[in-house]
Amino acid sequence: MSCASSSSSGSGEEDEGFDAYRKGGYHAVRVGDVFGGRRYIAQRKLGWGQFSTVWLAYDTRSSKFVALKIQKSAAQFAEAALHEIEFLSAIANGDPTSSKCVVRLIDHFKHTGPNGQHLCLVVEFLGDSLLRLIKYNRYKGIELNKVREICTSVLSGLDYLHRELGIIHTDLKPENVLLVSTINPAKDPVRSGFTPILERPEGITAGVVMPNMIERKLKRKARRAVARISEGGRR
């Protein structure tokens, strides 16, 4: 927990639901799906926000795990992503050694799917949010030395953004401060010894259930119900 970083990824505290998986909305992702010219392979969902979903992905070029942020496809979300890319690019270019405690942009590209064209951002994979750490400690506080460490990192990042780049962070809150590692080592793909998935396993769907699958299940249930009613009438 030597450094904290700002991020706009979703909290992952609740499911985003199915309604926004439509034209202009989220892109439905399955474990093993490939992105960025087959460079990145989706491993599992990390979280979501009103603008995007965030996935743990494996970078086949660097052989490292990264966070893949997939923006909704509607124009207003794409415009927001372009602004984010502009800021994160400036941040990365001004901090080649990645020592300023601000999340690092690795790559960005467009991905076309059934719901439209989605801007995707690839950033370094970090740990849990400060909010999750607070909840993990049952709101009883954090050790003073850890508070000092976190505050030093946050202030260092804010100073770099403001003084050197002229960027003001307007959404500073516990869920937007990330630790450099996960609280639970089992959730860290490196510390847990997780073997990356290099292709989509047959029959596995992760993250969301596709709406057409739900529709087919409902239709099957309806047909069975009609069949039972018909059989009861014949008796």
pLDDT tens-digit map of 75-87: 999 999 999 999 9
Least confident segment among 101-105, 149-153, 186-190, 206-210: 206-210
pLDDT exceeds cutoff 90 at 126: yes
pTM of the model: 0.79
Residue 32's contacts (CB-CB under 8 Å, 6 or more residues apart) are 41, 42, 197, 198, 199, 200, 201, 204
Q: Which DSSP symbol is given to 129?
A: B
Nearest partner of 123 among 52, 172, 196, judged by Cα:
52
Q: How confident is the model at residue 228 (pLDDT cuts 50, 70, 90)?
A: low
Catalytic residues: 171
Nearest partner of 54 among 97, 100, 22, 10, judged by Cα:
10
Q: What is the pLDDT of residue 171?
A: 93
To the question of whether residue 217 is assigned a binding role by annotation, the answer is: no
pLDDT exceeds cutoff 60 at 156: yes
Task: Render pLDDT for 181-221 as a digit per residue (tens, 0 to 9).
Answer: 999 999 999 999 999 999 776 555 444 444 444 445 545 55
Q: What is the pLDDT of residue 230?
A: 57
Name the E strands within the chain.
4-6, 34-35, 40-48, 52-59, 64-71, 105-113, 116-124, 177-179
pLDDT exceeds cutoff 70 at 92: yes
